[in-house]
Amino acid sequence: MPVSVVTGGAGFLGSHLCDRLLAEGHQVICLDNLITGNIANIEHLAGKEAFRFLKHDVTEYIYLAGDVDFVFHFASPASPIDYLELPIQTLKVGALGTHKALGLARAKNATFILASTSEVYGDPLIHPQDESYWGNVNPVGPRGVYDEAKRFAEAMTMAYRRFHSVNTKIVRIFNTYGPRMRARDGRAVPAFVTQALNEEPLTIFGDGHQTRSFCYVSDLITGILALAVSGESGPMNIGNPQEMTILDLAQKVIAITGSKSKIIFKDLPVDDPKVRQPNITMARNILGWEPKVGVDEGLPIVIDYFKHCAENRKVRN
């Protein structure tokens, strides 16, 4: 039975990764300090013999007895609200946390998978974005704490690959949505859905013509696991290339929910990307992967999740 460590395993993406790994026969050790993760995301795994949760800050030394085959480093604040409220923690987990997780992978001779982000491309000057693009990032802007933490994490990962011969993989994750997102994490899908369900105005920052590409969480996890067992090291984009404007997304949420909510516009945040669309040619050609769940199929699932999640329904954005 393969043994996988998932840092940030109680978070949105990390918890879905834990689920899939267990379903595929892995023993899973979930590490999370619960700063942005939620124990509710993994409570359904309590009592499973193959699952273990350890409350641990991965910026501190990680000691685990026994063999480890994979280290999935997913620990990090990942939403605008989180990394703007937790700037130092975001930088520390990108730097010190990546260093400690890589050290664990090296000690255990395990494959290391870094959850990087499309934010390494910043406010891109090419469109769509492919893996050869170096990005257009403002290192001293408010978003720089997240962008540069992930760029540093990629550099650290490559240093361990080159200097210590650790088998590393880098996945650049584009906008992803699905159940277990928090209503107030600052991202468009949960914000619009909870606002619509509460009959509140949907808040768009800017004129709404900025674009995003939304990948359903099950597709993302499939792509990440395909990369983990492949011979490719990356960086590799994993995301849905179906691009849409934020205004189109808001209107679609209103239509699906049947909400009477109106749309209001506020100032665009500093350094907010104007476009975001992955070029997934590498994933298609090397992994044979591409997303299967479109927004029209995925959004109703997320809407149903928030509709029936009492805690999230009470949240006012």
CATH number of the domain residue 122 falls in: 3.40.50.720
Residue 57's closest CA among 89, 27, 79? 89
Residues 187 and 103 in one domain: no
Question: Per the domain annotation, does 282 fall within a domain?
Answer: no
As beta bridge partners, residue 202 has 263
Residues 159 and 250 in one domain: no
Residues 50 and 191 in one domain: no
The two three-digit tokens of residue 80, written as one number: 């605008």
- Give me the pLDDT at residue 185, please: 83
Question: Per the domain annotation, does 287 fall within a domain?
Answer: no
Local confidence band at 184 (pLDDT 50, 70, 90 cut-offs): confident
Residues 166 and 261 in one domain: no
Name which of 76-80, 106-110, 176-180, 285-289 the model is least confident about. Answer: 76-80
Work out the burial of residue 215: count CB atoms within 10 Å of its CB; fewer than 13 is exposed, 13-18 middle, 19 or more buried: buried
The two three-digit tokens of residue 15, written as one number: 């918890």
Contact (Cβ atoms closer than 8 angstroms) between residue 11 and residue 78: yes
Q: Kindly report the average pLDDT of the chain as a whole number.
A: 94
Question: CATH number of the domain that 296 lies in?
Answer: 3.90.25.10
pLDDT in tens, 115-170: 999 999 999 999 999 999 999 999 999 899 999 999 999 999 999 999 999 999 99
Question: Per the domain annotation, does 283 fall within a domain?
Answer: no
Question: Per the domain annotation, does 222 fall within a domain?
Answer: yes
Residue 154: domain span: 3-176+215-238
Residues 222 and 250 in one domain: no
Q: Total structural domains in the chain?
A: 2
The C-alpha angle 298, 239, 168, rounded to 5 degrees, equals: 130
Query: Helical H runs in 178-283?
Result: 188-197, 217-228, 246-257, 281-282
pLDDT in tens, 53-111: 999 999 999 999 999 999 999 999 988 889 889 999 999 999 999 999 999 999 999 99
- Section 1-9 average pLDDT: 97
- Give me the pLDDT at residue 109, please: 98
Q: In this structure, what DSSP letter does residue 268 have?
A: P
Contact (Cβ atoms closer than 8 angstroms) between residue 202 and residue 258: no
Q: How many CA atoms lie within 13 A of 218 on its CB side?
A: 11
Residues 102 and 192 in one domain: no
Residues 232 and 255 in one domain: no
Residues 98 and 191 in one domain: no
Residues 74 and 221 in one domain: yes
Local confidence band at 231 (pLDDT 50, 70, 90 cut-offs): very high
- What are φ and ψ of residue 276, in 5° steps? -160, 110
Residues designated catalytic: 146
Residues 117 and 246 in one domain: no
Residues 41 and 100 in one domain: yes
Residues 249 and 271 in one domain: yes
